[in-house]
Amino acid sequence: MHTGLEESNDGFKKLSAFYAERVRGGVGLIVTGGFSPNFRGRLHPLSAQFSSGRHARTHRVITDAVHTEGGKIALQLLHAGRYAMHPLAQSASAIKSPISKFAPREMSARQIRSTIRDFAHSAELAREAGYDGVELMGSEGYLINQFICQRTNCRYDEWGGSYEKRIRFPVEVVKAVREKVGHDFIIVFRLSMLDLVEQGSTLEEVVQLAKALEQAGVTIINTGIGWHEARIPTIATQVPRAAFAWVTEKLRGEVSVPLVAVNRINTPDVAEDILSSGQADMVSMARPLLADPEFVKKAEESRADDINTCIACNQACLDHVFKGKRASCLVNPQACYETELVVTPAVRSRKIAVIGGGMAGMSFATTAAERGFHVDLFERKGELGGQFNLARRIPGKEEFNETTRYFSRRVEQTGVNVHLGKEVSAEDLRDYDHIVVATGVKPRMPSIPGIDHPKVVDYMTFIRERKDPGNRVAIIGAGGIGVDVATMITEPEGQTLNDWLADWGIDNNIAHEGGLFPHPNFVAHRQVWLLQRRPGRVGKGPGKTTGWIHKRTLEKRGVEALGGVVYEKIDDQGLHIQLEGQRHILPADTVVVCAGQTSVTEMIPVLAEFGDKVHVIGGAEKAGELDAKRAIRQGIELAIV
């Protein structure tokens, strides 16, 4: 996957360290992030390109690092087509995409031929640079995919019209690449098997293309699911594990080259099920290898419990990349920072007390103990995990269990001394060289008249106790947690994978174009109002790549999202509000308060006498931007100083 290091200063050195660590961790074949075969194909004006001898020479540091560790690596060639965010964008036809503000120009037949030559030339240079193969990006709605589908190809020349003519471009690209690189070089083709957009391919067409690609000389066919403009979640945490392995399976027996399954494969068990049941020949993973570079090795050694599992939150990887920042990982901040966040053995022995066993506390404690410090971790509650113990109770966020499992395991393995159910006093802390306060947050209760009415409950109590809130629920606050609560109370019970696919209108026979049913049925289960004082968009939640999923989920479930609300009071009738100057009563049975948090800081004045031995991290330091990404990273950063 693209990491953002491809374009940054000194990025290749860091990228080499990133890949080398994954090879040591047992990865069989690495595929890089996308490099464009020419200038017009770049995703952004400054995106990475691979088309000259100079590029080949600069990539040597990467291929050498991978080969030194005994691995293999393929360069991904990606032409953005109409997804390019610049005025030189080109595509099969001049049809603007909804995700770029630049309309593409239609490619002339001459430009098509020269683009095919560019792909072949780049592949030849990749070989020169020491790569073991290339992956041709033929999915996710990029240029090759744009030629294949009617949605974006309205040509009537030899490159458009019938399906046969629309697939001519990918087939010619493969033939040209094969001719240049010879037969002992891997060509992976990322084939869009389920477009999830209108006027996408049907299964019959996908099979026809796969056969043509095999004939043209591909070595491996990788699966692509959904265009970037598709409005169906394909990798977010609410997507069930291995939700799309059935798509790859549909091509089994149709071609003889190996088929690779993708998307939401994040544990060895899930991968093993896919392989042993014959759904695919290989599995590919991107985010799980950010979360744990040793995933494969640990799986091989039957140490699945030691794996730091990707929870598919996208918060530090894709959300970063789409904002032009370097990717990392919420649960593993060392990802893509292998040369910067280095854990070294401690020079002097120190005794450290950590107060609070949430993510910040556990992240600090485990890293400090790994360095060789003596660490005592005090947690007032009976379990470790803090806010993650709430998050994991939200339907669709069950993956958060994995993070508490992993960090608890690390606590055991690194020898942190855990004291559960223990309120510490200054007296208990006198003997320590350092005291780390990671006491987290508590819900903010706004001063609305009637806030102490029995129908009002704070989100922590509500999520923990899971009492039936009745048929009408008002949620005060539409941040990440308000959205989570709205999702939780509108979630249909006992959803299977098929229910989930049906809920999003996915045709699991791929008989309809793009694998979409024309009109999916949406069902509302309970009346819910999601409220915020700020005018404007409500209910998107915090993530750039996941906000639209939350919004669409809540729309589908009939949640009424209201911005610009003034809260007046809460009484037996419900929640009284003003909206655009008009008074309304929302006849809520329950009012759930999700109005942010305040830091739990009671310990800080008690510890004043210890001066600069005291360090405050996570939500206890700053509740405003509380999030697990900052908390876990802060814990590591403090522990490695």
10 Å Cβ neighbour count for 253? 10
Helix (H, G, I), strand (E, B) or coil at 163: helix
The torsion region of residue 280 among left (phi > 0), alpha (psi -120 to 50) and beta comes to beta
What is the rounded distance in angstroms from the CA atom of residue 357 to the CA atom of residue 352?
14
For ligand NAP, the binding residues (CB under 6 A) are 313, 315, 444, 446, 476-482, 484, 532-534, 541-543, 594-597, 625-627
Residue 481, binding choice from ligand NAP, ligand SF4, none, Cβ under 5 to 8 Å by partner class: ligand NAP
Q: Applying CB under 6 A, does 410 fall inside the site for ligand SF4? A: no
Give me the residues paired with residue 377 across strands.
Answer: 354, 418
**Distance between CA 384 and CA 291 in Å, rounded?**
20
Which residue is listed with tokens 């009738």?
573
**Displacement of CA 417 from its chain's centroid (Å):** 33
Give the residue with the Cβ less far from ligand SF4, 330 or 369: 330
Q: Using an 8 Å Cβ cutoff, are 172 and 217 in contact?
A: no
Minimum distance of ligand NAP from residue 446's CB (angstroms) = 3
317 binds, among ligand NAP, ligand SF4, none (CB under 5 to 8 A by kind): ligand SF4
Closest CA to 11 of 260, 314, 336, 285: 336
Long-range contacts of 203-206 (CB under 8 A, 24+ apart): 203/250, 203/509, 203/510, 203/511, 203/515, 205/163, 206/250, 206/251, 206/510
Binding span for ligand SF4 by CB under 6 A among 60-68, 126-134, 305-313, 359-367: 305-313
- Residue 289 · residue 268 · CB < 8 Å: no
Does position 284 interact with ligand SF4 (CB under 6 A)? The reply is no
Q: How far is the CB of 421 from ligand NAP (least distance, A)?
A: 26
At 209 the three-state DSSP class reads helix
Q: Of residues 66, 206, 316, 448, which one binds ligand SF4 by CB under 6 A?
A: 316
The smaller minimum CB distance to ligand NAP, of residues 89 and 623, is found at 623
**Distance in Å, CB of 531 to ligand SF4, minimum:** 28
CB of 388 to ligand NAP, least distance (A): 11
Contact with ligand SF4 (CB under 6 A) among 317, 438, 457, 538: 317
- 595 binding partner (options ligand NAP, ligand SF4, none; Cβ < 5 to 8 Å by kind): ligand NAP
CB atoms within 10 A of CB 266: 24
Q: By CB under 6 A, tell whether 290 contacts ligand SF4.
A: yes
Report what 311 binds from ligand NAP, ligand SF4, none; CB cut-off 5-8 Å by kind. ligand SF4
Tell which one of 59, 241, 287, 633 touches ligand SF4 (CB under 6 A). 287
Q: Residue number with the shortest CB distance to ligand NAP? A: 479
Question: For residue 338, what is the DSSP state?
Answer: T
> Which one of the spans 48-56, 139-147, 285-293, 579-587 is the region binding ligand SF4 (CB under 6 A)?
285-293
Stretch that binds ligand SF4, among 100-108, 205-213, 215-223, 311-319 (CB under 6 A): 311-319
Nearest distance from residue 390's CB to ligand NAP, in Å?
Answer: 9
Question: Using CA of residue 114, residue 115, residue 118, residue 120, what is the dihedral sign?
Answer: negative
Beta carbons within 8 Å of 303's beta carbon, 6+ residues apart: none
If contact means CB under 5 to 8 A according to the sort of partner, which of ligand SF4, ligand NAP, none does residue 294 touch?
A: none
The residues assigned a catalytic role are: 142
CB of 236 vs ligand SF4, minimal distance in Å: 9
Q: How far is the CB of 543 from ligand SF4 (least distance, A)?
A: 10
Closer CB to ligand SF4, residue 225 or residue 310? 310
* Closest distance to ligand SF4 from the beta carbon of 475 (Å): 25
Number of residues that bind ligand SF4 (CB under 6 A): 14
CA–CA distance, 83 with 91 (Å, rounded to integer)? 9
Q: Which residues, in sequence order, are bridge partners of residue 479?
A: none
Residue 311 is a binding residue for ligand SF4 (CB under 6 A): yes
Q: How many CB atoms lie within 10 A of CB 412?
A: 11
Residues 330-369, mask of contacts with ligand SF4 (x by CB under 6 A)? xx--------------------------------------
Closest CB to ligand NAP among residues 8, 598: 598
Shortest separation between residue 574's beta carbon and ligand NAP, angstroms: 16
Give whichever of 237 and 279 is closer to ligand NAP, judged by the CB atom: 237
DSSP structure class, residue 22: H
The nearer residue to ligand SF4, 313 or 384, going by C-beta atoms, is 313
**Half-sphere exposure in the Cβ direction for 346 (13 Å, CA):** 17
Q: Residue 177: which residues within 8 A CB-CB, separation 6 or more? A: 119, 120, 123, 134, 136, 187, 217
Nearest-5° Cα angle at 181, 162 to 61: 120
Q: Please give the sequence-ordered ranges of beta strands (E in DSSP) within 555-624, or none if there are none.
A: 560-562, 565-571, 574-579, 582-586, 590-593, 597-599, 614-616
Q: Using CB distances below 5 to 8 A depending on partner kind, what does residue 528 bind out of ligand SF4, ligand NAP, none?
A: none
Q: Which is nearer to ligand SF4, 201 or 328 (CB)?
A: 328
Where along the sequence are the contacts to ligand SF4 (CB under 6 A)? 287, 290-291, 310-317, 329-331
